[in-house]
Structure 1
Amino acid sequence: MRHKKNKIVHFLIFGSIYLNIEVFLRAIAGVLIGVQGISKWSLCGWTSLWMFPIGGFCAVIIGSFNDKPAYYNLKMWQQVIMGGSFIIAVELLTGLFLNAYLNLNVWDYSQDKFNFMGQICLQNSILWYFLSIIVIWLDDVLSHYYYGDEKPGNLFCYLKKLVMLQ
């Protein structure tokens, strides 16, 4: 049974998780910009504070999709396509607003292959589809622990559903 979720809790949890994912992935890739490139919207030069509301917003919306039977009854690959596409659209729109209109220069993919206006790129777009699997799974986990929904399988089960086109 699906319950109306506390969107603020999900926003805070997912916004925090996204900031940590970005810092972690930058550390692994060796692209931490360090002290020299810090802007006023940066967390130690490793991620932007703008990523908190953007990541939280995307996850809350995908979680809201997940509350609708028309969405959670879809096959996993369909949910992933919808979630990843939503994240890409939000990245493009917020990039145009924050980077092109407000000139905050939060991110710039203009040096990456297959970029669009420097706001989105193919490499990150592919990653957003994988991230949407994690968001769907974590939303189900939170719903189980906070709202008593049925216990979801582990993340591997979700990946298996995706690979098996279930």
Structure 2
Amino acid sequence: MEKRLQVEKYMILFAIGGMAYFFLEVLVRGYSHYTMFLCGGACFICCGLLNENKKIRISFLSQMVLSSVIITVLELITGLIVNVWLRMDIWDYSNLPYNFKGQICLLYSFFWFLVSSVAIVMDDFLRYKLFDEEKPHYKFL
């Protein structure tokens, strides 16, 4: 695929993932912040790339586990930048058990595990329908 088309594809996927993340947060919390659009776009791209290697096929469940780790790490990085360094105070998980510096917590990592199933299928569907990529096939385990 031409380099310009690759850039456009990833810009579209980034925007869709960012909007989905932003609106999911609005649905759950009642509000969001533009930085969540940026974090969500990055999460969507990274999680979507997990099953793009045609030589190595990983199970759907493994993709979900890895996606929850990716999202948690990107949320930690985003939180350390916007909440700790820039002091924007967008979220604080300090009151939740098993949190790290109030930026991530085990409960939300589990939530990302569940949500990642939708993101994986959505990424594959978009790649198939919009960019004529391979039709998705899944093995659960």
TM-score, length of structure 2 as denominator length = 0.86
**Residue 69 in structure 1 maps to residue 54 in structure 2:** yes
Give distance in 2, aligned partners of 1:4 and 1:130.
Answer: 29
Matches within 5 A, 1:79-158: 79-152=63-136
- The alpha carbon displacement at 1:104 in A equals 0.8
For 1:22 and 1:53, the matched residues in 2 are separated by 13
The answer for the alignment partner of 1:38 in structure 2 is none
Cα deviations across residues 119-138 of structure 1 (Å, max 9, x unaligned)?
00111110111122111111
- Scaled by the length of structure 1, the TM-score of the pair is 0.74
Q: Of 17, 21, 27, which residue of structure 1 is paired with 2:20?
A: 17
Cα shift at 1:70: 5.2
Percent pairwise identity: 34
CA–CA distance in 2 between the matches of 1:127 and 1:152?
A: 24
The CA deviation at 1:25 is 2.0
Distance in 2 (alpha carbons) for counterparts of 1:94 and 1:80: 21
Q: 1:56 matched to which residue of 2?
A: 41
How far apart in 1 are the matches of 2:32 and 2:81?
18
Q: Distance in 2 between matches of 1:132 and 1:97?
A: 23
1:65-100 Cα offsets, whole Å, 9 max, x none, are 2322355x1111111111110111111111111111
Gapped regions of structure 2 (runs ≥ 5):
none
Select the structure that is richer in helix.
Answer: 2
Matched residue, 1:36: none
Q: Which residue of 2 aligns with 1:47?
A: 32
Residue number in structure 2 paired with 1:29: none
Counterparts of 2:55 and 2:39 in 1: how far apart (Å)?
A: 25
For structure 1, which runs of at least 5 residues remain unmatched after alignment? Answer: 27-31, 33-45
- Residue 64 of structure 1 aligns to which amino acid in structure 2? L
1:110–1:7: structure 2 CA closer, same or farther, 3 Å change rule? same
User: How many equivalent pairs are there?
Assistant: 136
C-alpha separation in 1, matches of 2:50 and 2:10 = 12
Q: 1: CA distance between counterparts of 2:17 and 2:89?
A: 23
Match of 1:35 in 2: none
Question: Which of structures 1 and 2 has the bigger CA Rg?
Answer: 1
What RMSD over aligned residues (CA atoms) do the two structures have, in Å? 2.0
Return the alpha-carbon distance in structure 2 between the equivalents of residues 121 and 70 of structure 1: 34
Provide runs of 4+ in structure 1 moved above 6 Å.
Answer: none
- What amino acid is aligned across from residue 69 of structure 1 in structure 2? K
